[in-house]
Amino acid sequence: MTANAAKVRKGRKYAQVIQGAREIFMREGFEGASVDDIARASGVSKATLYSYFPDKRLLFMEVAMGQCQNQADEALTTIDRSRPPAEVLPQVAKAFLAFILSDLGQNIFRMCVAESDRFPELGREFYQCGPMVVRQALSGYLAEAAARGELVIDDMELAADQFAELCKTDLWPRLVFGIQTRFTEAERARVIDGAVLTFLARYGA
């Protein structure tokens, strides 16, 4: 059953199920999370759980996309778009790294990769809910900064994508290949500082 075919039913216990599922997914990951545990944490029966979410993948993506949206909103609301890039970009980078290096972020990535052949819509739905929102917001900020004369950029979306890739330098490959799963604030700061300096060296006015 695909995510598009399986329909989410929203009722009075929907939020209750989402909260319980988030707790279990965060603790056990996608594969380790059992429907029994999710139902128990949600305080509902398995029948009720299945009436809302007939497929565990659908439930996971609902939790993941909600979390992505929350983190995207949180990251964007902390940004003062009137401030210069040297102040704003480190905030964006810190929020971006916090999510992709989190347990939930890792679980989403791994599931999207593992299920990409059978369920390609999972990756698309996730991208549209989280990364695309941040990409559009960052592109908009870069355009405003360029209009103020703080940056010189022709392709805002390309520049936004490049900044995101700079933020993943060193840490993301080590995470994906299982070399390291936890990173200190100093390790993150090293990458963030390098990303901002490199980006401004290329696009700074």
Average pLDDT over residues 121-131: 74
Average pLDDT over residues 53-62: 85
* Secondary structure in 3-state letters for the chain: CCCCCCCCCCCCCHHHHHHHHHHHHHHHHHHHCCHHHHHHHHCCCHHHHHHHCCCHHHHHHHHHHHHHHHHHHHHHHCCCCCCCHHHHHHHHHHHHHHHHCCHHHHHHHHHHHHCCCCCHHHHHHHHHHCHHHHHHHHHHHHHHHHHCCCECCCCHHHHHHHHHHHHCCCHHHHHHCCCCCCCCHHHHHHHHHHHHHHHHHHHEC
Flag whether pLDDT at 112 surpasses 50.
yes
Q: What is the pTM of this model?
A: 0.76
pLDDT of 70: 75
Flag whether pLDDT at 116 surpasses 90.
no
> Confidence band (pLDDT; 50, 70, 90) for 79?
confident
Flag whether pLDDT at 29 surpasses 80.
no
Flag whether pLDDT at 188 surpasses 70.
yes
More confident residue, 155 or 15: 155
> Confidence band (pLDDT; 50, 70, 90) for 9?
low
pLDDT of 163: 96
Mean of per-residue pLDDT scores for the chain? 86
Dihedral sign of CA atoms 53, 107, 15, 48 in order: positive
Q: Which domains does the chain have, with CATH numbers?
A: 7-54 (1.10.10.60), 60-203 (1.10.357.10)
| CA–CA separation, 139 and 143 (whole Å) | 6
What pLDDT digit, counting tens, does each position of 155-173 carry?
Answer: 999 999 999 999 999 999 9
Average pLDDT over residues 42-64: 88
> Confidence band (pLDDT; 50, 70, 90) for 76?
low
Average pLDDT over residues 10-31: 85
pLDDT of 7: 59
